[in-house]
Amino acid sequence: MRLTKAELHKLMKNKLHKAGLKEEHADIVADVLAHADARGIHSHGAMRVEYYAERISKGGTNKNPNFTFEKTGPCSAIFDGDNGAGHVAAKLAMDETIKIAKENGVAIVGVKRVGHTGALSYFVQQAASEGLIGIALCQSDPMCVPYGGTEPYYGTNPIAFATPSKSGKYLMMDMATTIQAWGKILHARSKGTPIDPTWAVDKDGNPTGDPLKVNALTPIAGPKGYALQMMVDVLSGVLLGLPFGKRVTSMYSDLTEDRNLGQLNIVINPAYFTNVEKFLENIDQTMEDLSTMKPASGFDSVRYPGQSSMIREENYKRDGIEIVDEIYNYLTSDDVHYNNYDHKGAFAVE
């Protein structure tokens, strides 16, 4: 099934609102999800709606959060999400981060006590669209084995970055610190397709290509990815006084309970460091240098970070966003959810 971004947004918003979110909050969550699907990041798009709807319905997402924002210094602040929808808190917090960076050059805002915030690229793009550099990182469920370990300790702990350019394009990255994000495995399950066996291990610690047998993910580049996971957990968990490491709650363990997750938003105003016009021109030059480079054997071209998602976004504008039938049928049904996720393990299985 192919839908326009607007059609998909409407379906997701309606379902989330029916589950109990305020209309304006449902609209923001749907916007973040549609952003992900429109860039081909389906692991963080419509396939997440049923899980969110079940958590909202069962009380694990605060339907009427009391958001608070406290400046703690000229360039720092804390946004308390009161365990409302994480996407909403993260977006509003990034709005505040942008304001501080415009005034003072840099800004760091801790976003605490939130649920899952979705694709971090959405939030760093907020900053880039304002001519600023955006960085975001957040903790997640313990589902990755540390380098040399046998039990999950850290989550996929993603990091995102975006910078503007004179042409209006963005240099952008949004990456898990595992070889692959859990959402990609969830997407493979929904399509009934195997995964790359380097992505995960089974209960015996052996590589597996079966998405239903995944017991833990593996870090990118071994000890380097493991170290990045530690950094993200410290900056978005320990630093904000939140549960950390294996103490972070599982996404599926009890959908009636708060998640208490953390995210850190960082925004840099280039005008405080260099000539803005030259900066924007040099970002465009970076893109041109990379995209015109001679590709290695087996590659058609060299793409700069974020280019592939941008190409997919343009293609989807023309052809529509492809949504698997099972998800489309759910979105268009009268059911809010099907009790598919509550009290499951970290990988949504018994």
Residue 7 within a domain: yes
Closest by CA to 310, choosing from 10, 39, 17, is 39
- State which residues form the domain around 11: 2-274+312-332
Residue 344 within a domain: no
Residue percentage of the chain with pLDDT more than 90: 88
**Averaged pLDDT of the chain:** 95
The pair phi, psi for residue 94, each rounded to 5°, is: -65, -35
When divided into structural domains, the chain yields a total of 1
> Which pLDDT score is estimated for 184?
82
Question: Is 343 noted as a catalytic residue in this protein?
Answer: no
Residue 328 within a domain: yes
Q: Where are the beta strands (DSSP E) in 104-181?
A: 106-114, 133-138, 159-163, 171-175
Residue 31 within a domain: yes
> Which pLDDT score is estimated for 33?
98
Residue 302 within a domain: no
Which member of 42, 44, 87, 116 is catalytic?
Answer: 116
Taking only Cα atoms into account, the Rg of the chain, rounded to an integer number of angstroms, comes to 20
What average pLDDT does the segment 96-101 reach?
98
Q: Write down the pTM of the prediction.
A: 0.94
| 87 neighbors 32 (Cβ within 8 angstroms) | yes
> Which pLDDT score is estimated for 314?
94
Residue 161 within a domain: yes
Residue 292 within a domain: no
CATH number reported for the structural domain that contains residue 243 in this entry = 3.30.1370.60
Query: Mind listing the pLDDT tens digit for each residue in 283-321?
Result: 999 999 999 999 999 999 999 999 999 999 999 999 999
Residue 284 within a domain: no
Query: Mind listing the pLDDT tens digit for each residue in 238-270?
Result: 999 999 999 999 999 999 999 999 999 999 999
Place of tokens 């400046």: 71
The pair phi, psi for residue 73, each rounded to 5°, is: 180, 180
The better pLDDT of the pair 53, 345 is held by 53
Q: What are the residue ranges of helices labelled H in 237-348?
A: 276-291, 307-319, 325-332
pLDDT at 348 over 80: no
Closest by CA to 306, choosing from 178, 113, 199, 171, is 171
pLDDT tier at 350, thresholds 50, 70, 90: low
